[in-house]
Structure 1
Amino acid sequence: MITNTEIEKRGNQHPNHIVDFKQENRKLLFTTQNGVILEVSILRDSVVRFRYATEHVFEPDFSYAISDDVNTGFNQLEVQDEIPEYVVTTNKIKIYINKSNLKVQITDLEDNVLNEDELGFHWEENYDFGGNVVKMSKICHSGESYYGMGDKASHTNLKGKRLNNWVTDSYAYGKDQEPLYKAIPFYVGLKESVAYGIFFDNSFSTYFDFANEKRNVTSFWADGGEMNYYFFYGPKMSQVVEAYTDLTGVPELPPLWALGFHQSKWSYYPERNVKKIAATFRKLNIPCDAIYLDIDYMEGFRCFTWNNRYFPNPKKMVQELEKDGFKVVTMIDPGIKIDRDYWVYQQAMDNGFFCRRADGPHFKGKVWPGECKFPDFTNPEVREWWAGLYKEMIAEIGVRGVWNDMNEPAIMEVPSKTANLDVRHDYDGHPCSHRKAHNVYGMQMVRATYEGIKKYTFPRRPFVLTRAAYSGTQRYCATWTGDNVATWEHLWIANVQMQRMCMSGYSFVGSDIGGFAEQPNGELFARWVQLAIFHPFCRVHSSGDHGDQEPWSFGEEITNIVRKYIELRYQLLPYLYTMFYKYINNGMPMLQSLVFYDQEDTQTHFRTDEFLFGEHMLVCPVQEPNAQGRRMYFPRGNWYSYWTDEVIEGGVERWVPAEIYKIPLYVKEGAMIPKYPVQQYVGEKEIKELRIDVYYKEGIENSSVYEDQQDGYDYKKGRFSLRKFRLRGKENELIIQQFKDGNFTTSYNTFKLNFHGLPFTIGTVEVDNEEVDFSEIKLNGNNSIEVTKDFTELHLIGK
């Protein structure tokens, strides 16, 4: 990788003085004497796009990352022509644009600097490939920190790191290895406890240097394309992430079963082995909702085929598994085997759907089937064709989900591990080489898959999983972090990757529990499950080379521990589903790093282990062998131990017990945590009562629970139930108010409220201002009551 110093020695060109300014509604155009145009677009008072052209010419304005549903609109836009600079003012920020060199400084309205150019925009002609290498350098202030950037296997705080976004098949990657499977060129900066964000929307190979080479400079650059970035002002990290997530989009609600426990392996076959796995889950009463079929279910690894020796009647098998609560998820790769008798290959050939090299012939590469050709998923006609290929698998056989793997694309037996850079792509009518299309190839494949699965699954919701991704891929599918390893280091990596992905707008994410490569021992597997049940996507997957990796593979003690935690996952499904609802409606990450939770506490800026699961649960995994406990940091607030109800005041680091059967798990005071009964799969039981664990607080706390039919689209027509609770605790009383929205009728009529930490003995209970007899609410000592789900106000008064 080239260094900043080398970059500066290569004859960089810089903008000189401004000679022209024009305003076109929300777009401001500044032109320099040497042909640079800076286009500043105000999307919102706190969201601004900066786009640079050289030689007076912009490239076509097209991006796969940007959502069609972006919220735009601002309250103020004023431009002042001052002596040294132009000053652009919105309701939230000021932008100073230097007339002599086009450098940009962004401040708040009190002129506190948020972000400022060092060299600013500069560029260099790329004589190897044509076009420019485009570069931006910013001043890094003392104490400034950086977060985000997707699935990087690094410390949550990226200060001092050097990163590369080039979607890569990185089998058995290690800590700090670059690059990995995803390209998400978005980071959150934190300067003097004030947050901002930058999204560099460029699909070429991009690079970020967070004060690695020069301690006072943060820079980012790309091998081609435009210098095109978005600036988001907080001042809270939540506001930055919400704005980025709004810009790049969110998924639809998944079916609830997709949030259950999933089991996978390379590979479960033949049919009798699949059924044996399913039967063992049910025999041992270990909840599970999905079983995955890896590439061996296909005939000679040909996509959209079935090996009839292994699976003589796939439709019958899928139906039988479905009756027992298992959904089948199948893998589909991008490589299409070169075989004239193979109908998918022949259709693509007949229609000209395969990628070509620069001088005309089809691009070929070796993958699992042998020599393959690859559809150009950046062509909308190809995507439509690809979506249609799923009809038999989904609509006729009944498969419930699809898993796109190897879609970087991964190519074997070549040093680059991927397609040649001269491969040509349509890029939705903006023809380009693989240098530009590489990072979005997997994204466009999974987009086509999503459109097909959605069409043929309807009226149910689709479930799609991808390995490769670019910013915005979260609109279509869940993802996981690729081929990890069964080591304690990778348990740590999985933890930071989940936090980082959620902060990067991509919350529906998980890791291969237990590690894909190599074999965990029972202790590591148990500790990984304890962590992963608090990840939005929860799946065991392994290579199978070193032994089995099912929940019962490590002896009775580990099986019992694993069962206990998977059961906890299923109890927390309404809490998790509510987290997902908040993610898609408010851009709220489903997991929160401690710095996200409290950016003003400098103790949180370098914490990696602890995170919040939703808004009210604090998790800290054990990440080393033979541990009987660990030290963890408690952020602001008071926290109840989930296991003992001990209350710990935040702002301290403490030793906490964590024997093999226990993960440090705490609940924020004032929280109301909804729970379902343990089920072997989603929908097994009719929910006859919603349990809510209520954690007393002297003061006010808000909670909520979102529910709907758990599948289908009636929720978009108002058939949902959103209950918001406001808890107010006093010395001798507790008041809970409920506010309801939506017209979905739940299957239950009562709440069972389980109280934790009540400082008084209940003497009187009022429901909607009327005192009720204890027999009506089944008062159980001081611990629980049962009350109608439709109360407006519940008032507990001490004796």
Structure 2
Amino acid sequence: MPALSYAQNGVGKLTSKPEQKQNVFTFSTEQAKVQLEFCTPEMVRIRTSWDGAFEPDEEYMVVQHIWGPVKVELKKKWGNYILSTDQLQVRVNKEPLTIEIANKAGDILSTETFGQNGGAYKNGKVVGTRKKLMPDEHFFGFGERMDFTDQLGKEVNLNVGRGAQKPHIIGAYNIMEANYAPVPFFMSTRGYGIFLHNPYATRWDMGNSASDSYAFEAQNGELDYYFIYGPGFPAILGQYTTLTGKSPLLPRFAHGLHVGTYSGGTWGHTEHSSTEYVVELVRKYREMGIPIDILHLDSTWRLFGKSGGNGATSYEWRETMKNPQGMFDRLYAMNLNMVGLHIRSRYDNGTSLNLLDQAREKRMVYPEEANKGGFVNFFDDKAVDWWWDNAVMKIASIGAKFLKTDEGSGFGRVPSESNKLGATSPEAQKLHNIFPIAYAKAPYEKFSKYNNMRGMNHTREGYAGIQRYPFIWAGDWPSEWQYFGPVIKAGLNMGLSGVSYWTHNMGGFEHKADPELYIRWVQFGMFSPVAHVFGMDHPGYKEPWNYGEEALANFTKYDKLRYRLIPYIYSSAFQTYKTGVPMMRALVLENQKDVNTYNVEDQYMFGDNMMVCPVTTKAAQTRVVYLPNGQWVDYWTGKTYAGKKHYNIVAPLDQLPLFVKAGAIIPMQEEVQFDDKKPWGDITLDIYPSGKSSYELFEDDGLSEKYKEGNYSTTAITSNVSGGNTTITIGAAKGSYAVPPRNYLIKVRQEKAPVTVQIGDQKLSPANAEQFAKATSNAWYYDQEAKVLWAKGAKTAGETIEFSISQ
């Protein structure tokens, strides 16, 4: 791809008045056609075609192509055209044609009118546009970037894959080049976002080559982008994910712990792999009281085939993996909710199963120019059906319930992990970036139907729209301190790019982890959208008991805390489904006018109310945190801090710095070892009273897709502090899902014991800790040391109860 271009071949001047068809306005110029489609009052699609033809709709990146009517007023002024909605004013300048967009008040958001080089251009096959860089404008998004969060002044290259150079430390593990899940979308602090709707490799000059402008271009295809006005980042993400798809809910149990295993024998040690190892692994988790719900067997479960080796999938069990059917049965008998298997996207021939030969003979592989092909043709429904019936069903029929779809980047380019070059035709290059979406979509949908529950797929690569087939993991980064911080950045950037269900390998992947690094990485992992532990260091494999007693205690502590927080995590996931706002939120997401947040790359909000601040420096006893506007409470000590300030916080090894927003209400369940698929029992509400605040607890069956049809219930919880007194109200459950009767325990952070506590008109009697624990309901207890008030009350779904706390 050539260097970023200036407007060597622009569109020229406007030659006729616009043609209008409903919300679509087409402008003809000397060299091109420019089309503006108003999707909503806040979103306009801008397309430029130098041959006058526009590409047909596609289903991988964009899911909404048809929009309702939008009121657009067209005016001609001084030879230019102004198209206005309730939110935007789009000026189409005549000579040359350039586009300027302002908000309703007339404040310019984006303009191509400056100097000689603004506007759309074409250079050979490359298409792009250059826009003015406005004062104090910063840019966030671009997918799973591990280098920076704020991309102002940077040049960003987006194309699915990772570094291929050797040695690994500057090649395959090059955080500057890492590109597992690029997303051609950014948000500007000026209040807008741009999504470049193009599948080819793209380049973004965000003020790198010139301080007064930024540009983006694609290697080929159409110049087609959506301009989205917020002005807030959450609103921009809401519209972007309406366009590219909202993230569906994973099964409720998938918000617990995911464990990966090489079955006792990673590459080079495959003779040690066995089904018995897998069973004993899960038994050990259960015996040690470490909660777990999901397990996947990575690549050494399968026989490495005759053609592609470890880079392809034979769907045949390795000879050391005795009785896999019995293995699945024993795992499910220990109350695992899902067990899955790792695959790659090529077929291979095994010893007794010749799937590669069969698929080629039946033309079920993607056609290639230089050979017979080997990739599953995930772009063809018949090929997907054949893959499912003849390959995946061999493992699904005996107990596999999901796949880990690895190595989605080798299609249409030189692969990272195999010497088997795949399709390289122009069509394959066009499909390269969207192959990971098709690859994840197929098993997600097939297993959902087969399991009769929500889909789940575990994948590494993605592009715009991958959030529809969650979840994605950050790749195989070594167990070294230098990669810990960049992995956190990857998660922040994914959230800023519309992807919420994201994870990583706790403790890193290759190499034996320093126990301290393992401890710190696990703390972060348990507060990630998906909690996932897996490694290939033989024989440690990132199993928590292999890194010392302190690491085991840390793992158990934070895993149990995560499970207690699942009502909060699950409610946050539903919020993502409704709004597009991710669970893991860079501080800038909700503080885009606070310049202090622009370079905070190792802190994040986890849902609405909790801020997570991982420690990423070896031997650190403290870390600096930035607390945005408001009041913040240290989760461990209860100390309150004023916002919009930096603090140096003490961080013992067993303590992940956590802060809670003043006013927070955090729902928690009782301690459990796995999700039993039943409604939650007693719910604890961890409350940090401050002014008026509220929270909505989401509940449904946890398994089906009925929530999409409205079959769920929400319970509104409010906290109100007035005149030194606090009122906690738990409303009636609203919705069609049957919420059971239960106790609600309120855990109120306050400095002194109350004078009285009552529920409605009933005054509750004080109790000591032992009496409170034994009480079935309607009791209170104040923990003087922890500065916490506990109170308990029974409630049916249709009731509203009110706790009144007088000081």
TM-score (normalizing by structure 2): 0.90
Counterparts of residues 596-745 of structure 1 (less than 5 Å): 596-683=589-676, 687-697=680-690, 699-716=691-708, 718-737=710-729, 738=731, 740-745=733-738
- Residues 1:208 and 2:204 are matched in the alignment: yes
Shift of 1:559: 0.8
Partner residue in 1 for 2:268: none
Q: Does residue 228 of structure 2 align to residue 220 of structure 1? A: no
Matches of 1:226 and 1:215, distance apart in 2:
27
CA distance 1:161–1:682, shift in 2 (3 Å): same
Q: Give the aligned partner of residue 770 of structure 2.
A: none
Measure the CA separation in 2 of the matches of 1:343 and 1:176. 38
Tell me what 1:80 maps to. 75
Between 1:259-268 and 1:93-102, the stretch displaced more is 259-268
**Structure 1 residues 442 and 221 mapped into 2: Cα distance closer, same or farther (>3 Å)?**
same
Could you say which residue in structure 2 is the equivalent of 1:440? 434
Deviations 1:633-685 (A, max 9, x none): 11111111111111111111011110100011011111111111222222299
Find the counterpart in structure 2 of residue 392 from structure 1: 393
Which of 100, 105, 113 is 1:105 aligned to? 100
CA drift of 1:573 comes to 0.7
What is the aligned partner in structure 2 of residue 404 from structure 1? 405
Give the Cα separation in 2 of the matches to 1:580 and 1:398: 27
Aligned position for 1:65: 61
Change (3 A) 1:85 1:228: same
Greater shift, 582-591 or 374-383, is seen at: 374-383
Q: Displacement, 1:216?
A: 1.7
Residue 795 of structure 1, CA deviation: 4.2
1:323 to 333, 353, 377: 333
Q: Does 1:33 align with 2:30?
A: yes
Write the letter of the residue equivalent to 1:448: A
Matched residue SS, 1:354: coil
Mapped partners of 1:392, 1:629: distance in 2: 52
Q: What does 1:168-179 correspond to in 2, within 5 Å? A: 168-170=161-163, 173-174=172-173, 176-179=175-178
Match of 1:786 in 2: 792
**For residues 463 and 421 of structure 1, what CA distance do their matches in structure 2 show?**
27
Matches within 5 A, 1:245-264: 245-264=241-260
Q: Give the CA deviation at 1:413.
A: 8.2
Q: Given the superposition, is the C-alpha separation of residues 543 and 573 from structure 1 closer, same or farther in structure 2, using an over 3 Å criterion? A: same
Aligned to 1:16: 13
Q: C-alpha distance in 2, partners of 1:54/1:63?
A: 24
Q: Which moved more, 1:515-524 or 1:406-415?
A: 406-415
> For the structure 1 residues 717 and 390, does the alpha-carbon distance in structure 2 shift closer, same or farther, using more than 3 Å as the test?
farther
Whether the 8 Å contact between 2:795 and 2:801 is mirrored in structure 1 is no
User: Closer, same or farther in 2 for the Cα pair 1:747/1:252, shift >3 Å?
Assistant: same
1:294 aligns with 2:291: no
**Structural mapping, 1:131-146, within 5 Å:** 132-146=125-139
Confirm whether residue 47 of structure 1 aligns to residue 40 of structure 2. Answer: no
Partner of 2:762: 771
Deviations for 1:38-60, whole angstroms, at most 9, x for unmatched residues?
11000100011001111222233
1:187 aligns with 2:186: yes
Question: Structure 2: how far apart are the matches of 1:340 and 1:566?
Answer: 41
Contact map agreement 1:71 1:247 (CA 8 A) in 2: no
1:175–1:493 contact (8 Å) kept in structure 2: no
Indicate the larger mover: 487-496 or 732-741: 732-741
**Aligned residues of 1:693 and 1:753 also touching (Cα < 8 A):** yes
SS at 1:568 equivalent: helix
Q: Which is worse superposed, 529-538 or 334-343? A: 334-343
Offset from partner CA, 1:283-321 (integer Å, 9 cap, x none): 222112222211211133563634263233212211111
Partner of 2:280: 276
- Retained in 1: the 8 A contact 2:27–2:33? yes
| Aligned 8 A contact 2:47 2:223 in 1 | yes
Residue type of the partner of 1:614?
G
Shift of 1:387: 3.7
Q: Which runs of 5+ in 2 are unaligned?
A: 265-272, 306-311, 767-776, 783-787
> Over aligned residues, Cα RMSD in angstroms?
2.5
**For structure 1, which segment, 281-290 or 630-639, has the greater mean C-alpha deviation from structure 2 after superposition?**
281-290
Distance 2:409 2:638 in 1: 47
Identical pairs, percent: 25
CA distance in 1, matches of 2:678, 2:286: 15
Shift of 1:746: 3.6
- CA separation in 2, counterparts of 1:732 and 1:745? 36
Q: What is the CA–CA distance in structure 2 between the aligned matches of 1:412 and 1:240, rounded to whole Å? A: 32
Distance 1:655 1:313, change over 3 A: same
With over 3 angstroms needed to count, the CA separation of the structure-2 counterparts of 1:374 and 1:734, relative to structure 1, is same
* Contact 1:394-1:457 within 8 A present in 2 as well: no
In 1, the alpha carbon distance for the partners of 2:394 and 2:566 equals 29
Distance 1:513 1:504 in 2: 22
Deviations 1:705-742 (Å, cap 9, x if unpaired)?
A: 11222223444455423112222111322223325322
1:568-589 CA distance string (max 9 Å, x none): 1111111110011000012121
Residue 16 of structure 2: SS of its match in structure 1? strand
1:200-599 correspondence runs (5 A): 200-268=196-264, 269-301=273-305, 303=313, 305-307=315-317, 309-326=319-336, 327-337=338-348, 342-358=353-369, 361-363=371-373, 373-389=374-390, 392-393=393-394, 395-409=396-410, 423-424=424-425, 433-458=427-452, 460-545=453-538, 547-599=540-592
What's 1:368 paired with?
none
Contact 1:421 1:435 in 2 (8 A): no
CA distance in 1 between partners of 2:415 and 2:290 (Å): 43
Give the length in aligned residue pairs.
Answer: 765
- More displaced stretch, 212-221 vs 779-788: 779-788
Shift of the 716–685 alpha-carbon distance from structure 1 to 2, 3 Å rule, reads: closer
Q: CA deviation at 1:343?
A: 4.4
Residue of structure 1 aligned with 2:52, choices 53, 56, 61: 56
Give the secondary structure class of the aligned counterpart of 1:501.
helix
CA gap of 1:717–1:56, structure 2 versus 1, over 3 A, is closer
Q: Distance in 1 between matches of 2:423 and 2:118?
A: 31
Kept in 2: contact 1:702–1:727 (CA 8 A):
yes
1:538–1:393 CA distance, 2 compared to 1 (3 A): farther
Residue 192 of structure 2, aligned match among 190, 196, 207 = 196
Q: Tell me, what secondary structure is at the counterpart of 2:152?
A: coil
Q: What's the offset of the Cα at 1:391?
A: 5.8
CA contact (8 A) 1:198 1:231 kept: yes
The answer to whether the Cα contact below 8 Å between 1:45 and 1:92 also exists between their aligned partners in 2 is: yes
Q: How far is the alpha carbon of 1:686 from its aligned partner?
A: 7.4
Does residue 3 of structure 2 align to residue 3 of structure 1?
A: yes
Is 1:116 the counterpart of 2:111? The answer is yes
Q: Which moved more, 1:345-354 or 1:437-446?
A: 345-354
Amino acid in the other structure paired with 1:25: Q
TM-score by length of 1: 0.91
Residue identity opposite 1:297 in structure 2: W
> CA 1:703 to 1:559, structure 2 compared with 1: closer, same or farther past 3 Å?
same
AA matched with 1:270: S
Other-structure match for 1:93: 88
